[in-house]
Amino acid sequence: MPENKLKLEDLLGTAQAIDESGRVSKVAIIGAGVMGRGIGQSIASAGMDVIMVEKDDANVQKAKDALTEFIDNEIKRWAMTNSEKRAIFSRIKWETTFEHIKDCDLVIEAVPEDFDLKVSIFKEIDKLAKKDSIFVSNTSTLSLTKLAEATSRPDKVIGMHFLNPVPKVPLVEVIKSIHTSNETVKIIKEFAKTIGKTPVEVYEYPGYVTTRAIVPLLNEAMYILLEGVATAKDIDTAMKLGYNFQYGPLEMADMMGLDEVLTWMETLWKTLGEPRYRACPILRKLVRERKLGKKTGEGFYKYDQHGNIID
């Protein structure tokens, strides 16, 4: 495989473009929700410039406030410092259009699991991004091959499935589509290591490794609750103490967002047709009631304004 050498003119307009070592210096993130903010924080913490793109000013302000609150809580726990907070925010630029992605080495899509939405974003950024830019999707269940085919650079489209909370989970699944080049995989693996993540390469398949494995566990815990076998707190306590889980399955689902969990289940159920992915009725009920977990203040648990469970 020949080295990925760039002409001098390809470097203009960026602080540092992708080189033979797979270095990345400027990244755009489309979507500043829970996952997008976490990815942005992790990248900025590693010393790279980040452009966070949201659909309007109101959502930009909401994202800024949420990121500030998250970091401030970490500072209160002495897990971060005020100087680290200032450094992170100094590297993040907030935008409401795709116009400023032109100089980015990497564009990461982190919007909800809606195939048509993701395709429309990929088509639009494909027109604006420089030809050497790599496109990343944070999808956990959708086909990367089909997403890649919506662009003129399918060899430079790859998946990076981060887990929430992104700044604290040291894992990222790197998903190669049918079209993804080995050079793109190499660059993304090096990028993952640079931002403090351990990359695990997986083949494209619905749910990959982490989502496919965790969804049946979450679903079964919900059925245990529905059947009245134990309370949510006792189910989670049993799994934490019995199997050394950091979080119980129901608390974990609340952290992920119950609407997201339901979307994963529905996609896997539709794609694979296996009963273990058929969503528990209690999950559907909570989502209908817009009790989506920690982000709305109520799911399987109720939460205070700082995201702590109210006993």
Q: State pLDDT tens for residues 29-63.
A: 999 999 999 999 999 999 999 999 999 999 999 99
The SS3 call for residue 230 is coil
Using pLDDT thresholds of 50, 70 and 90, give the confidence band for residue 22. low
Percent of the chain having pLDDT more than 70?
Answer: 93
Query: Is residue 305 situated within a structural domain?
Result: no
The SS3 call for residue 4 is coil
Res. 12: pLDDT tops 70: no
Looking at the fold, whether 17 and 89 belong to one and the same domain comes out as yes
Res. 75: pLDDT tops 80: yes
Looking at the fold, whether 48 and 172 belong to one and the same domain comes out as yes
Which tens digit of pLDDT belongs to each residue from 246-282? 999 999 999 999 999 999 999 999 999 999 999 999 9
Using pLDDT thresholds of 50, 70 and 90, give the confidence band for residue 11. very low
Last residue of a domain, one of 155, 188, 203: 203
Tokens of 215: 């969804």
Going by the DSSP 8-state scheme, the letter that residue 310 receives in this structure is P
Q: Which residue has the higher pLDDT, 198 or 17?
A: 198
Res. 94: pLDDT tops 50: yes
Which whole number is the average pLDDT over 3-9?
A: 39
* Nearest C-alpha neighbor of 291 from the set 244, 250, 238, 234: 250
Looking at the fold, whether 59 and 163 belong to one and the same domain comes out as yes
CB-CB contact of 267 with 140 (8 Å): no
d(C-alpha 139, C-alpha 33), whole Å: 14
d(C-alpha 302, C-alpha 193), whole Å: 36
Q: Which domain range does residue 262 map to?
A: 210-296
Query: Is residue 3 situated within a structural domain?
Result: no
Query: Is residue 309 situated within a structural domain?
Result: no
* Nearest C-alpha neighbor of 31 from the set 105, 84, 83, 94: 94
Query: Is residue 253 situated within a structural domain?
Result: yes
Res. 310: pLDDT tops 80: yes
pLDDT of residue 21: 46
CB-CB contact of 177 with 156 (8 Å): no
Q: What is the residue-averaged pLDDT of the chain?
A: 91
CA dihedral 72, 255, 205, 277 (to 10 degrees): 180
Query: Is residue 303 situated within a structural domain?
Result: no
Last residue of a domain, one of 177, 203, 229: 203
Provide the whole-model pTM.
Answer: 0.83
Number of domains in the chain: 2
CATH code of the domain containing 193: 3.40.50.720
Looking at the fold, whether 223 and 196 belong to one and the same domain comes out as no
pLDDT of residue 8: 34
Looking at the fold, whether 51 and 133 belong to one and the same domain comes out as yes
Which whole number is the average pLDDT over 157-174?
A: 94
